[in-house]
Amino acid sequence: MFDSSGRRWRHRLPALVAASAAAVLMVSPATAVVPDGPAPRADAGPVAGEAANVVEVLLDGTAQLDALVATGVDLDHHVTRTADGVVVHAVVTPTEAAALTAAGYRLGRVLHRPGDAQVRVDEREATIAAHRADNAGFTATTGTSDVKIIRADYFTSGTSQVLSVEAKWAEGQSATTALTVERDSGPGTEIGSGGTQTISRFVDAGVYLYHRGAAPVTAKPAYVRVTSPTGGVAVAKVQEWLPIPDTDPEGPGYQKDFVTSYLTPTELYARIHQLAAEFPHLAEIVELPYRTNGYRRKAQTVLGAASAGRVAVDSLAWGHQGGNDISVELADPGAPDAALAVTVTGTDVRVTLATDAGGAVTSTAAEVVAALNAHAGSLLRAYTYRGSPGTDVVAPAPPTRLTDDLSAPPSVSREPHPVYAIRIGKHRDGSRTGVLAYAQEHAREWVPPLVTIETAERLLRNYAHDGRTKQLLNDLDIWIAPSVNPDGGHYSFYDFNFQRKNMTNHCPATGAADFLGRDSWGVDNNRNYTEYSLFDGYSGASTSCTSGTYAGPAELSEPENRNVDWLASRPNIKFSMNLHSSGNYFMWSPGAYAVPGRISAPRPTLAEESAFWGASARILTAIKRHRNLAVTPARTGPISDVLYSAAGNSGDMLWYRYGIYAWNFEVGTSFQPEWDEAHDETMEFANGLVEMMRVAREFARDRKRPTSTLTVAPGATPGTVDVTFDVSEPAAVFYTLDRSAPSYSSTLYGSAGIREGGATLTVPAGTTFHWFSVDSAGNVENNYRPDGNGRNYRRAVATLPTG
């Protein structure tokens, strides 16, 4: 695997690092990217216990999407670009929805309610019970045309036939005009006979990338034509996207379908322990080096009415270790001129409030806080509510029991939780190519962990009788971590179904650290990694401790993230899959850019991009095999191209830091779909995960050397020619023009642009090219030695054939 220039460096943009600590949705107007203006009120911010819904947010375009992401609002992975703008899905409480509306955002339909998740939980419990009972810089290079077709993909999805087209127009940055696509109706028919469709501009962060669009067709076209408003014409052959192969790769007797309900993290770990015990010659359990902070909290309460002085109280002990036994009372003595006093009887704390000569309570919040800390400081810590100076008089409060408000059964540990992976393979010593699959970085995503369990079951239970499965386990070292965020996963199942993050409370006492902020704590584990992060100045993560995309206090601050980093640092791991939901996306790096200017993390080289696309087509075809549903071309590609910027995501760390070919599944269309749908999604994406392992095995066994050719066409300027390289497989081409021997420091043949093929090199006719190609497995064309001693590199003179 070969680095492109600068691919592995850390590119910091200190001027772009946001220092805002504003609470989630305390936003400035929707057109601004960085919140500013007055600080939130002391009583502003999240309020725990409010039900959250998934709602549509209707945006004018990408600029407003970037502004929305910058607020830290909790977005799922659904982004749809329409003729009217962009539609995204946000997870918000009524308070947060009101803040969005006040900030100028338009809300659409409510798509998912807490009751829907409760139905899933009830359904799961019933199932378990039943089982127990039984572009920038585009210049047209095809003649005089100012438009070119990047992709023309025909695919089926269910019973529908669809044509997806992507094209780039030289005037696309400034002109908003849609492009018209003409289709033929099959081989040998005229273009136009199959009808027309329009494709619209895809502009991200103010940068035009290309036009794209899809439309239903009644037959597969053979060719399409795009004519630009300025007269340019481009014609392209239609390719079939994800064709179903005639032969099923799953042989006779292949076993699958091993999941019957949603599984909590405790149940996921029990499942892989059972598998390892049943197949000790093929699998083992590895406890990862960092335990989580635990499914646990301090017991808390907030005393006092919103209109009066408020006092926040936290136990010093964890709730399950005695904090839940503490009670606090703010008592009116019912007498004049009483002094402020605190009495402690066991774990019961009574504050007798001070009164004036008329018997009215005079104790302020700050005074009560000081008294509690002075006289009950061995049990609790008190503080004024969210940075208030505490000058308001408190209201009496009856004895109030502190609580950690956690609802999981005793079978769910409250201690720092071990995180487990199952390591599968005949040779688990690092001598074989490694593959990593991990799920539940985001707690509320209940289907992806099932995909990992289904995959592990298939691998182990088919080894004895299925030859292709035996090949995988004999030749690969497979690591599967079904839940890297067990604390958040348990919280999502038992307490707050839309929990995205882990459970660590990093909020300061002057912020939302109190009891009413409890559903908003935690770090987004997919924003806490090391490459192109918030701390490097990249977009798509937040500094707010209550934001859905809170990046944490520092890179790798969280044990969950340090565990993934430890897994990725295994030197033999070359391929990985990070499983998420939802949106039906299939993505890879780059996953982050900085705004303004859309300064992207480095893009893969042409060879690397080709390898991503080639493997992706195989993986997505395997997914489609289950029920003929396709992940569309528009939702396939680099994260920042097809979704939005996600600074500090794990895929970028694995790719840029460790050189791992790292993909991201976005499974299905909902976090917690009905079981029948969840089951289908599990089956189809397990197909894809197994296929990625087949890709990895072929990589490990690849000894075939690539071949390459030089193609020469007339240049647009007299005396010049246009040159392109073609390769027999995804491979890098290094070349020279000065007749010197090419090496790895020579010029690397690059891409023509985002989601495009190889660049066209315009050179004087008669230019001599020396070059060689090398694939991602390190196989060099002609067995050439590019160390200065080899001479069997490729040679050609760029001239047009005569006659």
pLDDT value, residue 2: 38
pLDDT digits (tens, 9 = 90+) for 451-491: 999 999 999 999 998 899 999 999 999 999 999 999 999 99
Q: State percent of the chain over pLDDT 70.
A: 91
pLDDT digits (tens, 9 = 90+) for 264-304: 999 999 999 999 999 999 999 999 999 999 999 999 999 98
Phi, psi (rounded to 5 degrees) for 216? -70, 145
Q: Report the C-alpha gap between 606 and 727 in whole angstroms.
A: 11
pLDDT digits (tens, 9 = 90+) for 4-63: 333 333 333 433 333 333 333 333 333 323 333 333 333 346 677 788 889 999 999 888
Cα 765 to Cα 719, 734, 801, distances in angstroms: 6, 20, 11
Predicted confidence band of residue 120 (pLDDT cuts 50, 70, 90): confident
Q: Where are the beta strands (DSSP E) in 599-719?
A: 599-600, 636-638, 661-666, 708-714
Query: Is residue 614's pLDDT more than 60?
Result: yes
Residue, of 54 and 427, whose pLDDT is higher: 427
DSSP per-residue codes, 407-454: ---TTS--SPPP-EEEEESS--SS-SEEEEEEE-SSTT--HHHHHHHH
Contacts of 486 (CB under 8 A, 6+ apart): 265, 266, 269, 292, 295, 417, 419, 440
Q: Report the C-alpha gap between 309 and 53 in whole angstroms.
A: 31
- Average pLDDT over the chain, rounded to whole? 89
pLDDT value, residue 31: 31
CA atoms within 13 A on the CB side of 361: 23
pLDDT digits (tens, 9 = 90+) for 519-550: 999 999 999 999 999 999 999 999 999 999 99
Evaluated on CA atoms 691, 693, 696, 702, the torsion sign reads: negative
Min mean pLDDT across 11-20, 579-588, 657-666 is at 11-20
pLDDT value, residue 132: 60
pLDDT digits (tens, 9 = 90+) for 632-661: 998 999 998 888 899 999 999 999 999 999
Query: Is residue 249's pLDDT more than 90?
Result: no
pLDDT digits (tens, 9 = 90+) for 713-768: 999 999 999 999 999 999 999 999 999 999 999 999 999 988 888 999 999 999 99
Q: Report the C-alpha gap between 296 and 320 in whole angstroms.
A: 8
Predicted confidence band of residue 140 (pLDDT cuts 50, 70, 90): very low
Q: Report the C-alpha gap between 330 and 301 in whole angstroms.
A: 12
Query: Is residue 144's pLDDT more than 80?
Result: no
pLDDT digits (tens, 9 = 90+) for 347-359: 999 999 999 999 9
